[in-house]
Amino acid sequence: MKTSSLIFAAAAVGSANAFVSTNGPIQRPAMMPSTTELYGGSSGYATTKEGKLARVATVKGLLENSEMIFSVPASGLTVSEVQSLRKTLPEGSTISVIKNKLMAKAVEDTEFTSAGESLLKGANMWFFVEEDISGTLSTYKAFLKKSAKLATHPVNGGVMEGVAYDESGIDAISKLPSKLELITRVAGGIKAVPTKLARVVNEPGSKLARAIKLATESNEE
């Protein structure tokens, strides 16, 4: 009887040892980089009426501060890729994946209404650009080259001052000087006027210089 008990106990201990590592701490699988697809179904509060209204209000706020908006395909982008892109955008530019129905609602009664006529197809990630259009487009192109997505994620199109543009139109606009650059140029031109005028007036032999001299001498007499 005792022999049977000892044999049973030994068997139980052996079975337990089969689940215990004899080579130190248990090795856990290494964490893999995030490859979660960016575009997925919403859940929870975002799917409620209140959640959708709040989302539309947020997008309207972005539109109010934007000089231009444009979209790119959202499918095939990962969360980590978009986070990386967002960090490199110029100040005043932001990106967001927005459902087409919500975007259509957000652009109603705004200067971006024409976006609903041709750009709300498929899954879209939207760029909201306050001022630096050229810098934003350049940053996105650099991202495409780095991530090897030039062929799959071109600019769909965009809207500026109530007009919808295709990819080539957006690219052409990005090459124009920004408002800040134009203001700087005008300010520089105005600042240069007094200097140029003084140079002309003081230039030896100039008619204006002679006229001023004669007028001064007449007043002195």
pLDDT confidence band for 178 (50 / 70 / 90): low
pLDDT confidence band for 17 (50 / 70 / 90): very low
User: pLDDT, tens digit, for every residue of 53-102?
Assistant: 999 999 999 999 999 999 999 999 999 999 999 999 999 999 999 999 99
Residue 169 has a pLDDT of 95
Q: Find the angle CA(215)-CA(216)-CA(218) to the nearest 5 degrees.
A: 65
Is residue 125 a contact partner of residue 82, using CB atoms and an 8 Å limit? yes
**N-to-C CA span, the chain:** 145
Q: Could you please report the per-residue DSSP string of 29-89?
A: PPPPPP--BS-----GGGGSHHHHHHHHHHHHHHHHT-SEEEEEE-TT-BHHHHHHHHHHS
- 62: its two tokens: 């972005």
User: pLDDT, tens digit, for every residue of 117-139?
Assistant: 889 999 999 999 999 999 999 99
Q: In the predicted model, what is the mean pLDDT of residues 172-179?
A: 81
Question: Average model confidence (pLDDT) for the chain?
Answer: 79
pLDDT confidence band for 50 (50 / 70 / 90): very high
Phi-psi region for residue 58, left (φ > 0), alpha (ψ -120 to 50) or beta? alpha
CB atoms within 10 A of CB 110: 17
Q: In the predicted model, what is the mean pLDDT of residues 44-48?
A: 84
If DSSP codes are grouped into helix, strand and coil, which group holds residue 93? strand
User: pLDDT, tens digit, for every residue of 181-215?
Assistant: 667 767 766 766 666 556 655 655 566 566 556 66
Chain-centroid distance of CA 184 in Å reads 25
Strand 124-129: give its sheet, edge to edge.
93-97, 124-129, 68-73, 157-160, 163-165
Task: Please state, for a pLDDT cut of 90, what percent of the chain lies above it.
Answer: 56
Residue 152 has a pLDDT of 96
143 pLDDT exceeds 50? Answer: yes
Residue 22 has a pLDDT of 45
Residue 163 has a pLDDT of 96
